[in-house]
Amino acid sequence: MSRKARTYLDWNATAPILPVAREAILAALDLVGNPSSVHGEGRAARTIIEAARRDVAALVQAEPANVVFTSGATEAANLVLTPDFRMGRTPLKMSLLYVSAIEHPAVREGGRFAKGDVSEIPVTSDGVLDVAALSRALEVHDRETGLPLVAVMLANNETGIVQPVRDVAELVHRHGGLLLVDAVQAAGRMKLSIAELGADFLILSAHKLGGPKGAGALVSRGEVLMPAPLIRGGGQEKGHRSGTENLPAIAGFGAAAKFACADIEMRSERLETLRARMEERMVELAPGMTIHGRAQERLANTCFFSLPGLKSETGQIAFDLEGVAISAGSACSSGKVGESHVLTAMGFDAGLGGLRVSLGTDTAEADIDHFLSAFERVVSRRRQGVAAA
């Protein structure tokens, strides 16, 4: 058999580590110094961290001084999702957190906000944030109790649908609030600028870019307005995130970010061409299927689909047995396959199964052919099973 035995099409869950990231990690492992030490060994380690900070900042056109390294996107979310901020030395309170109904659980759980202080904003049946509903919520927000904090992802991790973040930013700032944007899936797949988005904070994750697991970042638009620290201690990361920095992971993060900055448009166009061919053939093989968000602006690499009568878990196992790794959406529940809160938010039957195919840097024509062959067999078996019943 000429093609490889397995095809990996779950890049939204995690990307295979890039060679440049691996090299950066191995080089950092050979450095003995603590980045906070002032001797030569410590300064060498600090140099690696600051170079990575510049590369991560460049990914979203931010200032390096505004990048705070964390253990991942979940920690970054919990750092910024707090009622307690400071404007310089002046305390600033966020009284309510508004989150879209399709947010990743790391954001949707509300971080350090009390459950009663988290308000969910609906999305349309097209999977796009209902900006009018957010506007109504902000209109009645009581600013005497504190300011609103709004969290909206740039691109949904399941459907790939791009959200109207610029419009949201304008609305939020008009009401004196702050905007947090989860850019985990979008980073490296579309050009980003924190200023052009109008975001006050961005969340990033290394392993979605081909860096190591265990590294992430909170990026702010400035240095004056910052959330209260989540982890206190020795005052690393300017006091925003204490604890000795994970030098190898941060080095790998920086290398992956630098790689991701190059040729984003070219990579995106190539993946969009592959996906278009794939989806066209899928619809031919299964005319009754649904590709969620197909009419909306999506990340070029993502296809989230449902086949009538095929449960998510059954479909995922079926493709896995065919040698194709895809997912049932967010890979954040320790291997559990449950109902998609994204599909529910879009108004679909909660029992509807959804499967996600996500492409990446190394995805080739042969990988798409392998998936389509598997798809044809899965569809054929499902039809035979229905006929037998």
SS3 for the chain is CCCCCCEECECCCCCCCCHHHHHHHHHHHCCCCCCCCCCHHHHHHHHHHHHHHHHHHHHCCCCHHHEEEECCHHHHHHHHCCCEEEECCEEEEEEEEEEECCCCHHHHCCCCCCHHHEEEECECCCCCECHHHHHHHHHCCCCCCCEEEEEEECECCCCCEECCHHHHHHHHHHCCCEEEEECCCCECCECCCHHHHCCCEEEEECCCCCCCCCCEEEEECCCCEEECCCCCCCCCHHHCCCCCCCHHHHHHHHHHHHHHHCCHHHHHHHHHHHHHHHHHHHHHHCCCCEECCCCCCECCCEEEEECCCCCHHHHHHHHHHCCEECECCCCCCCCCCCCCHHHHHCCCCCCCCCEEEECCCCCCHHHHHHHHHHHHHHHHHHHHHHHHC
Same domain assignment for residues 152 and 240? yes
| Whether residues 241 and 272 fall in one domain | no
**Exposure string (b/e) for 42-51, b if CB count within 10 Å is 16 or more?**
beebbebbeb
Q: Which residue, 271, 269, 306, is CA-closest to 288? A: 306
pLDDT along the chain (389 residues), means of 10: 76 98 98 96 98 98 98 98 96 97 97 97 96 98 96 98 98 98 97 98 98 98 96 96 98 98 94 98 96 96 93 94 89 59 88 91 97 96 64
Instruction: Give the Å distances, CA to CA, from 312 to 102, 306, 327.
Output: 18, 8, 8
Instruction: Establish if 2 belongs to a structural domain.
Output: no
Tokens 């080095």 found at: 251
Query: Is 185 within the bounds of a domain?
Result: yes
Q: Are residues 158 and 274 in the same domain?
A: no
Whether 270 maps to a domain, the answer reads: yes
Domain termination site, one of 231, 261, 291: 261
Asked whether residue 82 falls in the same domain as residue 221, the answer is yes
Residues 257, 268: one domain?
no
Last residue of a domain, one of 245, 261, 277: 261
pLDDT for the residue 1: 35
Q: What pTM did the predictor assign? A: 0.94
Q: Is 143 contained in some domain? A: yes
Instruction: Look up the domain containing 35 and give its range.
Output: 22-261
Identify whether 332 is a catalytic site residue: yes
Closest CA to 246 of 64, 75, 59: 75
Of the residues 234, 261, 288, which one is the last residue of a structural domain? 261
Q: Rounded CA gap, 195 and 165, in Å?
A: 12
Q: Does residue 366 belong to any structural domain of this protein?
A: yes
Catalytic one of 38, 332, 350, 386: 332
Read off the CATH number of the domain in which 168 is found. 3.40.640.10
In a domain? residue 126: yes
What whole-number distance in Å separates Cα of residue 248 and Cα of residue 29? Answer: 6
Contacts of 347 (CB under 8 A, 6+ apart): 125
Compute CA distances 84 → 62, 87, 139, 194, 224, whole Å.
23, 10, 22, 22, 14
Q: Are residues 62 and 48 part of one domain?
A: yes
Same domain, 87 and 181: yes
Residue 58: exposure state from Cβ atoms within 10 A (0-12, 13-18, ≥19): middle
322 and 339 housed in the same domain: yes
C-alpha dist (Å) from residue 279 to 303, 305, 337, 356: 8, 10, 23, 12
What is the model's pLDDT at position 339? 74
pLDDT at 383: 77
Question: What are the backbone angles phi and psi of residue 52, rounded to the nearest 5°?
Answer: -65, -40
Cβ of 147: how many Cβ atoms within 10 Å? 18
Strand partners, 179: 150
- Token pair 């109790």 is found at 145
